[in-house]
């Protein structure tokens, strides 16, 4: 694991955007795995600025998002679909047909999950996967527990996550209890992984992520088995690392 520690959120976001941009410059038809949450917002803003300055052409990329709340329609402002269009896709020159997120509203979830895996494979696999991390060590929506899922699945959210994510909703009651997420196996198949974390609240999860032990209690710890992972942290997220 490569660990880069930046002085603050802005510097972290810039560094992350440079890594994504270099991936696209070297391979304009890159397949990117993308994340939601407040952490990657700064990175998306930096990428949009690069595009506007005509330093970056994103017309060739394909994207797959990590997850989506179950049964939230795309026009719901809390859906990850809405988040991605609002914060990134609407501001760049990506082709709409190259954008894919798990469908939260789906008649046949099992089939949707299988088709998602197949679509990633057909695209040639993910070149660079961007990740945030939950306070409980989840990546995507792979929650700590006894087992971890390998492939894209419908999962139950933990109380911790429902509580942590309630800040985006009017009340905790409105947070969906389930989500569709790429599995740990789907994430680990990516050729390169870039995990971003900022703030004190993430320090404990980051410590477990790099600890030298694998545990389903911290799904991100499995990233230690991947040959090409870069962590970009601000000082607070890195504060418990020796
Ligand atoms: C959600 C997402 C994760 C994200 C995490 C952290 O639960 N499913 O992909 O990494 O939240 O969110 P934030 O960046 O807002 O702290």
Which one of 70, 138, 159 would you pick to mutate in the ligand 1 pocket, going by the greatest count of ligand atoms within 8 A of its CB? Answer: 138
- Percent of the chain past pLDDT 70, that is, above it, reads 100
DSSP classification of residue 107: S
116: tokens are 């998602």
Q: Name the average pLDDT for the chain.
A: 97
Instruction: Identify the pLDDT of residue 130.
Output: 98
Q: Tell me the pLDDT tens digit for each residue of 67-124.
A: 999 999 999 999 999 999 999 999 999 999 999 999 999 889 999 999 999 999 999 9
Look up tokens 């999962």; give the residue: 155
Q: Using alpha carbons, list the distances in angstroms from residue 25 to 31, 58, 98, 118, 149.
A: 12, 9, 17, 26, 33
Confidence (pTM): 0.96
Q: Tell me the pLDDT tens digit for each residue of 150-203.
A: 999 999 999 989 998 999 899 999 999 999 999 999 999 999 999 999 999 999
Q: Is the pLDDT of residue 62 over 90?
A: yes
**pLDDT: is 106 or 57 the higher one?**
57
Does 66 sit in the ligand 1 pocket, CB within 6 Å?
yes
Instruction: Identify the pLDDT of residue 242.
Output: 86
Apex 162 CA angle, 204 and 129, nearest 5: 60
Q: Is the pLDDT of residue 133 over 90?
A: yes
CA dist., res. 218 & res. 231, Å (int): 16
Helix, strand, or coil here: 179? Answer: strand
138 annotated active-site: yes
Q: Is the pLDDT of residue 141 over 90?
A: yes
Ligand 1 atom closest to the Cα of residue 35 is 9
């Amino acid at each position: 694991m490569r660990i880069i520690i930046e002085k603050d959120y802005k510097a972290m976001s810039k560094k992350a955007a440079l890594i994504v941009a270099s991936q696209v410059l070297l391979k304009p038809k890159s397949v990117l795995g993308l994340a939601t949450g407040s952490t990657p917002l700064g990175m998306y803003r930096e990428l949009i600025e690069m595009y506007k300055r005509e330093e970056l052409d994103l017309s060739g990329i394909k994207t797959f998002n990590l997850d989506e709340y179950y049964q939230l329609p795309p026009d719901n402002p809390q859906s990850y679909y809405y988040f991605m269009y609002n914060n990134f896709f609407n501001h760049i020159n990506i082709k709409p047909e190259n954008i894919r997120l798990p469908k939260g509203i789906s008649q046949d979830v099992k089939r949707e999950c299988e088709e998602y895996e197949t679509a990633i494979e057909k695209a040639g696999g993910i070149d660079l996967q961007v990740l945030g991390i939950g306070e409980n060590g989840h990546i995507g929506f792979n929650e700590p527990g006894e087992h971890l899922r390998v492939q894209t699945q419908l999962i139950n959210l933990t109380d911790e996550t429902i509580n942590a994510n309630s800040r985006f909703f009017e009340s905790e009651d409105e947070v969906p209890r389930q989500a569709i997420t790429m599995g740990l196996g789907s994430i680990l198949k990516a050729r390169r992984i870039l995990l971003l974390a900022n703030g004190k609240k993430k320090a404990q999860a980051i410590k477990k992520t790099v600890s030298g032990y694998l545990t389903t209690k911290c799904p991100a710890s499995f990233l230690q088995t991947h040959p090409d992972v870069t962590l970009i942290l601000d000082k607070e997220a890195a504060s418990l690392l020796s």
